[in-house]
Structure 1
């Protein structure tokens, strides 16, 4: 039996509308639906947000293809710079590519010539996260100069990403670097879309031409902020499939966790293979098994295993993003409005 992930599309749409309202019509909203929309189902979420979001963002070209095949015809930005063969997919399906070097631009131009099509791309720029992107404004200039030689590969934007938007020193340092690169790109094309903020940067007010919103869409904040109200949209229910009674000193499941008092355990059909970590947390007896979890003090027939992803992530010593991406891994997605 699969577990059930109940996902409220109206809640996600309202979260997006709250972001849109805060932008005041001055910046575009890009809905981030990579990683299967943080575990919520990319195609369904994109369809629900079609009238609210100006465009969409994914991590891989293949994710963009899935959106195209589901009927999404708006701009789709691929946030990972080109790997071998990615240029073919971006051109074929009209995905906006990321370029981090002059070589990337040449690859896109060559593929456009081969397919007889055009393609848009944004320059990925490193402002301190040291993950992806061109290093330094000199490299940004070289990429932009390369784009002026192209007939088919069109430079339409530049973006970066805050490593720690909640930290003032990191935030302002990255912002300063981004603004310098933005000004350069605007000198090539004043209409280029320049953006640096995901949910965290948005909460700090760094909107620029566009914001890329992921976590906030799904009802959580990367750090405490009263800038906007959002509501979680997903619950994952797993059935109680058996009951067990333990006497003092008895063990259950793997390992040596012993009952310190008489226990009445509920065996829930949710294990670490279903998405949440193996580690023992509050209300749980011992570690999870691959397919089942033992709960104490439970009288429910179905258990919502991700009541509050933010609080649960703190217990697990991880982040909300990770739990959301995995929680519904082995669940049937049920969409409600």
Structure 2
């Protein structure tokens, strides 16, 4: 491997983060969400690391679920967006997938199809997200139809929070109240808790948790959280300094000349750019770790390279290791400098970056 870009995936950290999620609700089971290639970490590798412990896996669609089956994973797989066509249903039944049902047309497909065996379904309730799901007042009738449907086995209620990563936001209490009335009325098992709710909303835990981004050591919160503070970073994205330039005061660095040196600067060029998935909109000042020391990105990120300030790091030079995020620098902190969230940084990492797996 010549270009020194790499993403080290710490599988042991993912296992510990899953255990931390389970520890928040000892009586509940937990779906390990591995959609979007396990948030960029590698769905098959992550699922194999969790195979002994995970109660189920969560993916967006049947293609992601089949990838797990083809790799030999046998746990139940929840299809969080459900199914899109009736011809998926025989495969779902054969492979033991658990689809979400969030719309009338899906329910009609279940009522009309013939299957070799009935399937469990996760009935989605729209408690305020207004993306997918049935309005709460319609849910009892949908449950009655599902119970009358020969293709349906168990029914579980689910919903998704809009603001659970904002503990002071009143929307979560509203959604909990809307869902709670239904759960009491229908007496069904339920799944509400995404990562934020796992860590901050114990009243949302119910029978099934759905930890996602927390498995990968990233916090969804802007403020400190005592559970999130225990998460272990699961990805270290790194590269090396490939060139060093002495840039005089008054000269600019990079495309658009957006950074001008107010004094002589020592600038390091790093083999990492938006072609690797590092965000082009990262601002000057975005932290990086060079040779174990904290410094900053300067100038505009280009496709294959970015530039960092080595002025106060005389020990750093060509070949020095650069951590873009990971164990020394939280991906959540980098995300704030990029005016985005850690989810996007992790999932947008491109295939050009080799994933290297360890169990540390």
The TM-score with structure 2 as length reference comes to 0.85
For the 8 Å contact 2:103–2:132, the answer to whether it is kept is no
Count of equivalent residues: 328
In 2, Cα distance between equivalents of 1:40 and 1:62:
17
Does the residue aligned with 2:97 lie in a helix, a strand or coil? coil
Q: Which residue pairs with 2:160 in the alignment?
A: 161
Shift of 1:69: 1.1
Shift of 1:124: 0.9
Q: Which residue pairs with 1:181 in the alignment?
A: 182
Q: Which residue pairs with 1:273 in the alignment?
A: 275
Question: Relative to 1, partners in 2 of residues 1:291 and 1:177: Cα closer, same or farther, differing over 3 Å?
Answer: same
Shift of 1:247: 2.0
Q: Which residue pairs with 2:191 in the alignment?
A: 195
Structure 1: any 5+ residue segments left out of the alignment?
A: 187-191
In 1, Cα distance between equivalents of 2:284 and 2:68:
37
In 2, Cα distance between equivalents of 1:150 and 1:197:
28
Q: 1:219 aligns with which of 217, 229, 237?
A: 217
Q: Deviations over 1:145-164 (max 9, x none)?
A: 22122212334211001111
Q: How does 1:1-337 map to 2 (within 5 A)?
A: 1=3, 3-24=5-26, 26-84=27-85, 86-87=88-89, 89-111=91-113, 113=114, 116-137=116-137, 139-165=138-164, 166-186=167-187, 192-203=188-199, 204-205=201-202, 206-223=204-221, 224-227=224-227, 229-257=230-258, 258-279=260-281, 280-282=283-285, 283-297=296-310, 299=316, 301-306=320-325, 307-327=329-349, 329-337=351-359
Out of 141-150 and 82-91, give the one that drifted further.
82-91
Question: Relative to 1, partners in 2 of residues 1:132 and 1:142: Cα closer, same or farther, differing over 3 Å?
Answer: same
For the 8 Å contact 2:93–2:116, the answer to whether it is kept is no
Q: Deviations over 1:53-80 (max 9, x none)?
A: 2111111221111111111111111111
**Backbone CA RMSD of aligned residues:** 2.0
Shift of 1:311: 0.9
Question: Relative to 1, partners in 2 of residues 1:227 and 1:242: Cα closer, same or farther, differing over 3 Å?
Answer: closer
The TM-score with structure 1 as length reference comes to 0.90
Regions of 4+ moved over 4 Å: none
In 2, Cα distance between equivalents of 1:94 and 1:163:
29
In 2, Cα distance between equivalents of 1:87 and 1:292:
46
